[in-house]
């Protein structure tokens, strides 16, 4: 009985101690709230050759954490792809690697509090980070951090550009087919109408090369990272080779950089010789980030955020809608003779079909005048044809017998192949090269019937019909036309910015 009573006393005493411990624990250890954070941004800056500072902001529904991680140094060439090392970071007052500085703090509804103790684990998989741990502030208030997602870590920029303009030039169909050129310039400072600096500021001129835009009039610089190259390659921007520089290449022909500061006596204009450029979506706009190596050995890091304009300088057509041409009343059939291209055996022909109030002068390179419509259709026949064209259907395509010619050339006056022209008081009001389609030709006695169903380079449908005689003009037997400078042809070409760029494409420096 004594043993039982002794045992019962010991059991009661131990039970009391256990309850007391549980009561003390619940009283002295408050619950640590778990904070779910769903958005993050970051800024990287170098500390020294071994360390770098990552200022990371993690945002939740009603609280933000502004954390300063000391991690590994990021090489200058990789500044646009700065990555924080996966490690365990402890809050410390020493600027050692893999620590959180005491400048870290949280912000809740306008109230801030510095972080003094805690540890965070950082893991990374490609662009996704996972950050977890517990942090306490000076009032011993603790938060359990939980974040998983992408952190956009950017470098500290020397310049944030305020102005951009650009042109889509399309490809060089002869030397570099199907590689589109997206020329652009970026400016911080005062400029003239041509985008050139007229005072203090910064200027970048650069051409990106990528796949052709499906619709040139809607062209945008494709989003990706571009690297410097002296060759025409998709995913690059064009820089001058050392040979180009040594031979005196102009700055506008290649990627270049300018910085003017009159007070400090700075007037630098140099070629861009390397680096990377990132182009990415930023809401409804785009953001362009530069990490550029310059000819003088310096580096420039900048960015532009906003609408990135790419004016269409590739589409030649001035039409904004379909055209159905039904007022053609007279015409000519021109024999051009043997194709001058080596290896071609076909003959070349042109039909000029005009409306009533339009006339043309065959002896002066078909210089037109009047008000109305003019259609020139190029046809290719076999080598046996020299006095008339065969009837039939001519697909618009390459130069082979039985095809119609594709409309080519940059503008009126530099045009050839199948084109539509609209004149007003002797001037070219509208024009369009016809790129695809068919031409049907039939003949009854001396009456030709011509039907065109074509599409221009802006996807406008152009249809035309003509029925009547065609005046034959023989320009295929050595007939000499007058010199071009004596041709009274009137051409109304619109002034366009940077026409020099188009004209300098094939210049050799």
Averaged pLDDT, 174-199 = 92
Based on the domain organization, do 164 and 150 belong to the same domain?
no
- Which range has the worst mean pLDDT, 366-380, 422-436, 466-480? 466-480
pLDDT tops 60 at residue 6: no
The reported pTM is 0.80
Q: Which of 125, 155, 185 is the last residue of a domain?
A: 155
Rounded to 5 degrees, what angle do the CA atoms 278, 279, 282 make? Answer: 120
User: What is the per-residue pLDDT across 269-294, written as a single tens digit (0 to 9) for each?
Assistant: 999 999 999 999 999 999 999 999 99
Q: Is residue 19 domain-resident? A: no
Based on the domain organization, do 166 and 208 belong to the same domain?
yes
pLDDT tops 70 at residue 329: yes
CA count, 13 A, side-chain hemisphere, 211 = 6
Instruction: Return the SS3 of 25.
Output: helix
Q: Is residue 436 domain-resident? A: yes
User: The domain containing residue 474 runs over which residues?
Assistant: 323-486
Looking at the chain, the whole-number percentage of residues with pLDDT higher than 70 is 88
The β-bridge relationship of strands 163-172 and 311-312 is parallel
Based on the domain organization, do 257 and 197 belong to the same domain?
yes
Q: Go through 32-52 and write b for each residue having 16 or more CB atoms within 10 A of its CB, e for each that does not.
A: eeebebeebebbbebeeeebb
Based on the domain organization, do 75 and 133 belong to the same domain?
yes
Q: What is the pLDDT of residue 10?
A: 41
Based on the domain organization, do 350 and 479 belong to the same domain?
yes
Q: Which of 292, 312, 332 is the last residue of a domain?
A: 312
Using CA atoms in the order 400, 401, 404, 408, what is the torsion angle rounded to 10 degrees? 30
Q: Is residue 501 domain-resident? A: no
Q: What is the pLDDT of residue 115?
A: 97
User: What is the per-residue pLDDT across 219-262, written as a single tens digit (0 to 9) for each?
Assistant: 999 999 999 999 999 999 999 999 999 999 999 999 999 999 99
Based on the domain organization, do 392 and 255 belong to the same domain?
no
Please tell me which residue, 5 or 458, carries the higher pLDDT value.
Answer: 458
Based on the domain organization, do 62 and 180 belong to the same domain?
no
Q: What is the pLDDT of residue 21?
A: 40
Based on the domain organization, do 456 and 352 belong to the same domain?
yes
pLDDT tops 50 at residue 464: yes
User: What is the per-residue pLDDT across 465-502, written as a single tens digit (0 to 9) for each?
Assistant: 999 999 999 998 654 555 544 444 444 333 344 444 44
């Amino acid at each position: 009985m004594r043993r039982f009573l002794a045992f019962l006393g010991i059991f009661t005493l131990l039970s009391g101690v256990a309850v007391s411990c549980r009561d003390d624990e619940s009283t002295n250890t408050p619950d640590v709230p778990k904070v779910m954070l769903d958005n993050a941004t970051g800024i990287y800056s170098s500390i020294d050759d071994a360390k770098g500072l990552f200022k990371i902001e993690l945002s939740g529904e009603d609280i933000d954490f502004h954390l300063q991680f000391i991690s590994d140094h990021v090489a200058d060439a990789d500044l646009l792809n700065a990555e924080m090392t996966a490690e365990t970071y402890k809050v410390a007052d020493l600027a050692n690697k893999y620590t959180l500085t005491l400048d870290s703090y949280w912000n809740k509804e306008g109230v801030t509090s510095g972080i003094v103790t805690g540890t965070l684990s950082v893991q990374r998989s490609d662009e996704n980070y996972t950050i977890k741990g517990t942090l306490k502030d000076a009032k011993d208030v603790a938060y359990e951090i939980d974040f998983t997602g992408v952190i956009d870590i950017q470098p500290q920029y020397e310049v944030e550009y305020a102005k951009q303009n650009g042109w889509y030039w399309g490809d060089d169909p002869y030397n570099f087919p199907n590689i589109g050129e997206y020329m652009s310039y970026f400016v911080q400072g005062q400029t003239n109408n041509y985008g050139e600096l007229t005072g203090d500021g910064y200027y970048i001129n650069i051409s990106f090369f990528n796949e052709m835009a499906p619709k040139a009039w809607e062209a945008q610089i494709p989003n990706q990272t571009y690297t410097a190259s002296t060759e025409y390659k998709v995913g690059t921007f064009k820089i001058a080779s050392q040979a180009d520089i040594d031979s005196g290449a102009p700055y506008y022909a290649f990627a270049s950089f300018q910085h003017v500061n009159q007070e400090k006596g700075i007037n630098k204009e140099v070629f861009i010789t390397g680096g990377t450029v990132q182009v990415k979506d930023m809401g409804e706009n785009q953001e362009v980030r530069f990490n550029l190596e310059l000819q003088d050995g310096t580096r420039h890091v900048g960015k532009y955020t906003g609408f990135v304009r790419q004016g269409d300088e590739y589409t030649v057509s001035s039409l904004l809608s379909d055209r159905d041409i039904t007022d053609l009343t007279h015409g000519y059939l021109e024999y051009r003779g043997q194709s001058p291209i080596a290896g071609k055996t076909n003959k070349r022909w042109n039909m000029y079909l005009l409306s009533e109030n339009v006339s043309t002068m065959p002896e002066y390179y078909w210089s037109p005048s009047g008000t109305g419509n003019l259609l020139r259709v190029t046809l290719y026949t076999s080598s046996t044809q020299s006095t008339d064209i065969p009837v039939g259907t001519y697909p618009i395509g390459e130069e082979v017998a039985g095809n119609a010619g594709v409309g080519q050339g940059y503008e009126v006056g530099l045009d050839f192949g199948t084109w539509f022209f609209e004149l007003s008081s002797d001037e070219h009001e509208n024009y369009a090269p016809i790129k695809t389609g068919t031409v049907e030709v039939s003949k009854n006695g001396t009456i030709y019937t011509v039907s065109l169903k074509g599409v221009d380079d802006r996807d406008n449908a152009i249809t035309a019909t003509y029925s009547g005689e065609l005046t034959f003009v023989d320009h295929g037997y050595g007939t000499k036309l007058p010199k071009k400078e004596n041709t009274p042809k009137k051409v109304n070409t619109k002034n366009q910015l940077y026409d020099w760029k188009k004209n300098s494409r094939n210049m050799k420096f």
